[in-house]
């Protein structure tokens, strides 16, 4: 097939796949996914956020080491005035190479076409569009996607990736989406094949995904070379081997993406302090991490949740975080407005200048739960949902003075829940300039020591699972 017709086909397919995802009876859906899978699985081209609106990070796999580059041009065609951005490649666990490039100099309200090139590989031409007004954009929030290797089913990854692809395409068919917030457990075993399945979602060639380290991602080592995230903290005392906390901005929103597998509270607080200091004009602070804190709907996890609340609650309080997006429990819940571990005002459809933080958990994409084990922690929970194994995704609309969250069951037209956080001033109603207590400092110190010993356990687990990892790298570095 000629290159031009291949590119054209790719564009048409993108449109048709998004359409097919919105019409459940569309019979060609399976056929199209088959084509997308064959076309996209091996190269794993995927966008991650850059540091701010003017940047976009790209990552993909190829068979050999090379100096990768991305060709970028305004509009739908790449021609002679295209710009070239060079990057680097790192050795990935399955014997191939992961290529990393950062595109810079992006302007508001424009459409760009791009093509990834590395030794022996030229990608399709994909497009993305920047927001006309940087402070007004929409993001999808999902969690626990779990693209899953299955020893008993060779199509396990392909089938779970299809659910992710069709769910994300349905969300993206509702309005222009500028970002996916993925709150961890992208994979189930942490295999590179699972991340390639995740990357096959066609929408992730058109807007970036901010991924979070889930406990399942930490079962393997592939996440370390899969991601291409900005402003990642590297000077930790203790960190997860596969990655750490990172931040980026979109307009006046500061996103703080935390590694909640790592209990090193001293590192997490230092990271948030630096990120907030580096972005003094950010009106909104949205934190995302994997572990559920408040819903506690799985009783045997409650003691873990209690410790995590002691670690993370004071950090959200001190730095006036507006919204915390979580995962792990696979249960949909939204808390009341919380401060200092207590409800300060009830959950409402509109919460104006809340005097604390709202925490939210969404359901899993491929492992939705029913309502068993429901009912704990009512003192914190403002809205709980019993999804009866239904797939849930959320659209977050950001404006200069509000964040509106709309939650949908896959396949249904109307949102089943919607709420807004409104701030009439930059600070809103959240207390500011709180001095951290000695007790909170002690908890963070204990967390850091615990994190160190926990990493020794992680090293043992990785060795037992057959990974060739270095003790000092796993225990001390990220
Ligand atoms: Fe999970
Ligand atoms: Fe999890």
Q: Could you tell me the CATH number of the domain that includes residue 185?
A: 3.60.21.10
What is the spatial distance between Cα 144 and Cα 126, in angstroms, rounded to a whole number?
26
Mean of the per-residue pLDDT values of the chain: 90
At 244, list the tokens: 């750490």
- Can you give the pLDDT at residue 384? 85
Q: How far is the CA of 65 from the centre of ligand 2 (A)?
A: 33
CA-nearest of 92, 97, 102 to 118 is: 97
CA-nearest of 117, 126, 112 to 15 is: 126
The mean per-residue pLDDT over the stretch 365-371 comes to: 82
Q: How far is the CA of 213 from the centre of ligand 2 (A)?
A: 9
* Closest ligand to residue 368's CA: 1
* Closest ligand to residue 291's CA: 2
> Do 240 and 389 have their domain in common?
yes
Q: How far is the CA of 143 from the centre of ligand 1 (A)?
A: 8
> Do 125 and 188 have their domain in common?
no
Asked whether residue 64 is assigned to any structural domain, the reply reads: yes
Q: How far is the CA of 183 from the centre of ligand 2 (A)?
A: 9
Asked whether residue 468 is assigned to any structural domain, the reply reads: no
Q: Could you tell me the CATH number of the domain that includes residue 51?
A: 2.60.40.380
Structural domain ending residue among the three candidates 129, 158, 191: 129
441 within 8 A of 457, measured Cβ to Cβ? no
pLDDT at 257 over 80: yes
> Do 304 and 351 have their domain in common?
yes
> Do 47 and 168 have their domain in common?
no
Query: For 187-208, what is each residue's pLDDT tens digit?
Result: 999 999 999 999 999 999 999 9
Q: How far is the CA of 198 from the centre of ligand 2 (A)?
A: 16
Asked whether residue 9 is assigned to any structural domain, the reply reads: yes
Q: How far is the CA of 425 from the centre of ligand 1 (A)?
A: 36
Q: How far is the CA of 439 from the centre of ligand 2 (A)?
A: 28
Q: How far is the CA of 345 from the centre of ligand 1 (A)?
A: 30
> Do 235 and 179 have their domain in common?
yes
> Do 205 and 125 have their domain in common?
no
> Do 109 and 148 have their domain in common?
no
E strands, 364-473, in order: 381-384, 392-398, 402-409, 417-422
Radius of gyration of the chain (CA): 21
> Do 76 and 31 have their domain in common?
yes
pLDDT at 146 over 70: yes
Q: How far is the CA of 332 from the centre of ligand 2 (A)?
A: 14
Question: What percent of the chain clears pLDDT 70, i.e. is strictly above it?
Answer: 91
If residue 342 lies in a helix (H) or strand (E), which one and from where to where? strand 342-345
Asked whether residue 105 is assigned to any structural domain, the reply reads: yes
At 171, list the tokens: 């969300």
Structural domain ending residue among the three candidates 422, 450, 470: 422
Q: Strand, helix or coil at 56?
A: strand
* Closest ligand to residue 186's CA: 1
Asked whether residue 455 is assigned to any structural domain, the reply reads: no
Q: How far is the CA of 392 from the centre of ligand 1 (A)?
A: 14
The mean per-residue pLDDT over the stretch 294-299 comes to: 73
- Can you give the pLDDT at residue 24? 42
Residues within 5 A (CB) of ion ligand 2: 185, 214-215, 328
Q: How far is the CA of 449 from the centre of ligand 2 (A)?
A: 22
List the domain range (segments joined by +) for residue 293: 137-422
What is the spatial distance between Cα 361 and Cα 357, in angstroms, rounded to a whole number?
13
- DSSP-derived secondary structure for 198-211: HHT-GGGGTS-EEE
At 100, list the tokens: 């990393």
pLDDT at 174 over 90: yes
Query: For 1-36, what is each residue's pLDDT tens digit?
Result: 344 444 544 544 444 444 444 444 444 667 888 888
- Can you give the pLDDT at residue 473? 84
- Can you give the pLDDT at residue 36? 87
Q: How far is the CA of 224 from the centre of ligand 1 (A)?
A: 18
Q: How far is the CA of 262 from the centre of ligand 2 (A)?
A: 13
> Do 100 and 67 have their domain in common?
yes
For tokens 């540091």, the residue is 51
278 φ, ψ (degrees, to nearest 5): -75, -15
Q: How many independent structural domains does the chain possess?
A: 2
> Do 70 and 155 have their domain in common?
no
pLDDT at 98 over 90: yes
Q: How far is the CA of 325 from the centre of ligand 2 (A)?
A: 13
Q: How far is the CA of 292 from the centre of ligand 2 (A)?
A: 9
Asked whether residue 463 is assigned to any structural domain, the reply reads: no
What is the spatial distance between Cα 85 and Cα 378, in angstroms, rounded to a whole number?
51
> Do 86 and 106 have their domain in common?
yes
Q: How far is the CA of 345 from the centre of ligand 2 (A)?
A: 29
Structural domain ending residue among the three candidates 110, 129, 148: 129
Tell whether pTM > 0.85.
yes
Identify the weakest region by mean pLDDT among 21-25, 118-122, 195-199, 287-291.
21-25
Asked whether residue 406 is assigned to any structural domain, the reply reads: yes
Query: For 124-139, what is each residue's pLDDT tens digit?
Result: 999 999 999 999 999 9
Asked whether residue 438 is assigned to any structural domain, the reply reads: no
> Do 319 and 238 have their domain in common?
yes
Identify the weakest region by mean pLDDT among 5-9, 44-48, 117-121.
5-9
133 φ, ψ (degrees, to nearest 5): -110, 110
């Amino acid at each position: 097939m000629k290159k031009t017709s291949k590119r054209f086909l790719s564009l048409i397919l993108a449109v048709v796949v998004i359409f097919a995802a919105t019409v459940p009876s569309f019979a060609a859906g399976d056929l199209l996914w088959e084509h997308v899978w064959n076309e996209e699985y091996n190269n794993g081209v995927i966008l991650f956020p850059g540091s701010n609106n003017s940047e976009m990070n790209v990552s993909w796999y190829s068979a050999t080491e090379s100096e990768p580059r991305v060709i970028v041009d305004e509009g739908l065609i790449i021609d002679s005035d295209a710009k070239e951005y060079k990057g680097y490649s790192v050795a990935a666990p399955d014997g191939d190479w992961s290529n990393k490039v950062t595109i810079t100099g992006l302007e508001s309200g424009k459409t760009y076409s791009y093509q990834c090139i590395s030794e022996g590989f030229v990608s399709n031409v994909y497009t993305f569009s920047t927001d006309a007004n940087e402070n007004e954009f929409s993001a999808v929030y999902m969690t626990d996607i779990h693209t899953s290797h299955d020893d008993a089913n060779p199509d396990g990854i392909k089938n779970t990736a299809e659910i992710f692809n069709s769910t994300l395409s349905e969300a993206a068919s509702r309005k222009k989406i500028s970002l996916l917030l993925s709150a961890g457990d992208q994979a189930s075993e942490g295999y590179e094949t699972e991340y390639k399945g995740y990357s096959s979602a066609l929408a992730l060639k058109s807007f970036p995904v901010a991924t979070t380290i889930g406990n399942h991602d930490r079962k393997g080592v592939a996440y370390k070379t899969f991601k291409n995230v900005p402003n990642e903290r590297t000077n930790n005392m203790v960190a997860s081997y596969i990655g750490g906390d990172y931040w980026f901005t979109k307009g006046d929103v500061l996103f703080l993406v935390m590694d909640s597998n790592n209990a090193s509270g001293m590192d997490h607080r230092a990271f948030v302090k630096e990120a907030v200091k580096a972005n003094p004009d950010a009106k909104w602070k949205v934190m995302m991490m994997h572990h559920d804190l408040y819903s506690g709907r799985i009783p045997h996890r409650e003691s873990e949740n209690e410790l995590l609340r002691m670690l993370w609650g004071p950090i959200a309080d001190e730095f006036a975080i507006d919204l915390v997006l979580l995962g792990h429990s696979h249960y949909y819940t939204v808390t009341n407005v919380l401060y200092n571990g207590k409800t300060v005002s009830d959950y409402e459809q509109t919460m104006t200048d809340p005097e604390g933080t709202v925490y939210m958990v969404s359901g899993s994409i491929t492992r939705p739960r029913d309502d068993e084990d429901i009912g704990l922690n009512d003192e914190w929970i403002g809205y709980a949902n019993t999804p009866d194994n239904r797939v849930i995704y959320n659209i977050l609309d950001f404006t200069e003075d509000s964040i509106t969250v709309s939650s949908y069951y896959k396949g249904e037209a109307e949102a089943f829940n919607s709420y807004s956080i409104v701030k009439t001033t930059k600070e809103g109603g959240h207390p500011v300039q709180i001095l951290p207590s000695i007790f909170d400092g002690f908890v963070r110190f204990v967390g850091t020591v615990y994190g160190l010993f926990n990493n020794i356990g992680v090293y043992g687990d990785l060795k037992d699972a057959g990974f060739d990892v270095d003790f000092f790298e796993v225990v001390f570095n990220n």
